[in-house]
Structure 1
C-alpha cells in the first residue's frame, strides 16, 4: 500500500473514532453557539497555525443556517503568554486576530485554556472547547481536575492532536473523556481531516446532532459522511 493510501486510511480511522465519541454526547440546543477555539502557538505549531488560519472560516460558514456562532480565540506561546480574544461573531474578525499572531517557543499552557473555559462557561454556557495541540508538558492530575470541572458544567473539550506522541495521546484522551468531549488525532498534511472536524464541532455546538444532520445535506461528501454516523438524540 502506498504512503498516501496509508495516510488516507489513518485519517478515516481518526474520524470514525471521533464520531463514535461525539455520538454519545447529549443533544445541544442553542440559537447562538458559544465555542472556544484554542491553539498551541509555540514554535512547533507554526505550520498548523497557518493551516488553522486558512480553515477558521469553516467554524462560521458551517453554522450560518443555525443562527450563527460566537467564538473566543485562545492561544498560548513563549514565556507564560496566554491570550483570550473578545467573543467574535464573524470570520473576518477571527482571521484578523489569528493573522496578528506569530508562534514563539515555549512550554504548553493547557491549564490556562481549561481555566479560561471554566471562567467563561460560568458566565454563560460554552457549548464546546476545541484544542489544537501536539504535546502536553504539564501535570496531568491538575489538568484532569480542570477537565472534570468542565464535565460537571457540561462543557465538552474536543482535543485535536497532531503528531505521534503516545504519552500526550493518553493525556488528551483522559482530558476529553473527563470533560464529556472527544479526542481525535489528525495529520497536518491532510487539511481535509481538520476541516471536517472543525465543522462538525461548530455545528454540534450550535444545534446538536439534528442540526448537523440537516446541515450536511447541502455539504460535501466528507461532511455528509460525518453526519450520517452522528445519529445522536434529536429531542
Structure 2
C-alpha cells in the first residue's frame, strides 16, 4: 500500500464550491467509507478486535446498498498507509490480518488530509477513526476537519478509553465535520461493533438509513444524537 504524503493546503473557496455542489448521497450508488485506525503498539488488542468486527460493516451496508472501504492506518516512525477500495469483508480481513502494530506517535493529521483528498477525488460519504490518543496540534487537526465539514464528510471519532488529552480534540474534530464522538471501553467488542455498524449504515444510506437503524441499535442512536446538534 502506498505511503500517504501530506497534501498542500487548498484554497478555501474551492472547498466551499465543492461542498455546495455535493450532498451525502450524490456521488453514486456505492457508499464509500474511509476506515482509519491507530496501529501504534498500544493498539494491538483493538486492532485484532477490529479485524474480527469489520465484516459487520459490510453486512449492515448490504441491506441498504453497497459499501466500499479504504483502510488507512499509521504506525511506527512516520508510516501512514492506505489500501485501495475494498468491497468485500474477506479481502479486508486478510489485509488487516497481515498488519502488525508498531510503536510510534499519532498521525491523525495525515488521516484527515487523506480523507480530504478522497472527498474531492471520489466523494466519500464518511470517515471512521478508531484510536485512543492524540499527540498532535489540535488547531492544525481542526483546520483540516473544518475543510471536511465544508465538503459534508462527517468524521466519526471512536475513542477507546479515557485519555483526557484526546477527548476534547476528538470531540472538536467530530463537531467541525458534522460527525460524532463516541467512547467505547477497552476491549468492548460489542460497543465497537454497534458503532461500526452505525457508521456503515450512514455511509451506505445517509442519515435516513441511520435513523432507521436507531430504532433497534444503540450505536446509531448515539451517533444521531450528536449529528443533530452539529452545525
Relative to the length of structure 1, the TM-score reads 0.80
Aligned to 2:48: 50
Are the equivalent residues in 1 in contact too, given 2:191–2:219 (CA < 8 A)? Answer: no
Aligned to 2:86: 88
Aligned to 2:71: 73
Aligned Cα RMSD in Å?
2.1
Aligned to 1:99: 97
Q: Distance in 2 between matches of 1:131 and 1:189?
A: 16
Equivalent position to 2:144, from 132, 137, 146: 146
* Matching of residue 204 in structure 1 with residue 202 in structure 2: yes
Are the equivalent residues in 1 in contact too, given 2:24–2:152 (CA < 8 A)? Answer: no
Map of 1:105-124 to 2, 5 A cutoff?
A: 105-124=103-122
- Higher mean alpha-carbon deviation, 185-194 vs 39-48, is at 185-194
Q: Which runs of 5+ in 1 are unaligned?
A: 1-26
Q: Which runs of 5+ in 2 are unaligned?
A: 1-22
User: Does the residue aligned with 1:189 lie in a helix, a strand or coil?
Assistant: coil
User: Does the residue aligned with 2:99 lie in a helix, a strand or coil?
Assistant: coil
* Matching of residue 195 in structure 1 with residue 190 in structure 2: no
Deviation of 1:68 after TM superposition, in Å, equals: 1.1
Q: Distance in 1 between matches of 2:29 and 2:130?
A: 25
Relative to the length of structure 2, the TM-score reads 0.81
Distance 1:208 1:62, change over 3 A: same
Aligned to 1:16: none
Runs of 4+ in 1 over 6 A off after TM superposition: none
Distance 1:227 1:156, change over 3 A: closer
Q: Distance in 1 between matches of 2:160 and 2:64?
A: 30
Aligned to 1:14: none
Distance 1:102 1:226, change over 3 A: closer
